[in-house]
Amino acid sequence: MVEEFPWYLAQVKPQSYRIAERNLRRQKLETFIPLLTRTDAGAGRFVTRTKPLFPGYIFVSCDVQSGAASKINSTLGITRLVSVGGHPVKVPNGIIESLKARCSQSGVLSDDIPVAVGDDVRVLTGPFADFVATVDQIDPSRRIWVLIDLLGRQTRVGLEDAAWEAR
């Protein structure tokens, strides 16, 4: 049986993701770098690149009680574990699980959005929480624009990815 340890966040030195990941894995530590594929216009053409979702950071699963924190802090490519008051801060498991669920085998986040224009969604946060709205537009940045019926008028509102759920 594989023992599961809490996840922590480690700061990576500039341009050292692969070095840090390789050295952490040599120490038998599980790592996770969620990646995002973006297409940008540059030099008169479109360029598609895969970049870390959280630039400058890598997730590491370890047992800090066994002294792993000092090992990680001295790993080539790592600056330090993110800590408060000298104690590494655990990343809630739900965050890692939801990120992994949305990633492919290679760690790239899926751009699949479970709704289409015209579908109904329920707003989860903000002043319109629990309102049902109709999807009007979906941006490449995963923001959706919805139409909410307020006092008999349609009002257009932008929602981030975590602020709504499909109905």
* pLDDT tens string 120-164: 988 888 888 889 999 898 876 667 889 998 888 999 998 887 777
* pLDDT tens string 42-83: 777 888 888 898 999 999 999 988 888 999 999 999 999 999
Measure the CA–CA gap between 61 and 155, rounded to whole angstroms: 44
In this prediction, residue 1 carries a pLDDT of: 39
Judge whether 159 and 146 are in contact, CB under 8 Å: yes
| Domain positions in the chain | 7-101, 120-166
CA distances from 155 to 11, 76, 119, 120 (A): 42, 52, 16, 14
- Indicate the pLDDT class of residue 4, thresholds 50, 70 and 90: confident
CB-based burial of residue 79 (10 Å sphere; 0-12 exposed, 13-18 middle, 19+ buried)? middle
In this prediction, residue 142 carries a pLDDT of: 67
In this prediction, residue 67 carries a pLDDT of: 87
The tokens of 11 are what?
A: 């700061």
pTM as predicted? 0.66
The tokens of 4 are what?
A: 């599961």
Judge whether residue 110 has pLDDT over 90. Answer: no
Judge whether 102 and 36 are in contact, CB under 8 Å: no
Fold of 7-101: Alpha-Beta Plaits (3.30.70)
Judge whether residue 111 has pLDDT over 70. Answer: no
> How many CA atoms lie less than 13 Å away from 95 in the CB half-sphere?
12
Phi/psi for 83 (5° steps) reads: -135, 155
Judge whether residue 36 has pLDDT over 70. Answer: yes
* pLDDT tens string 24-33: 999 999 999 9
Measure the CA–CA gap between 69 and 165, rounded to whole angstroms: 37
CATH of domain 120-166: 2.30.30.30
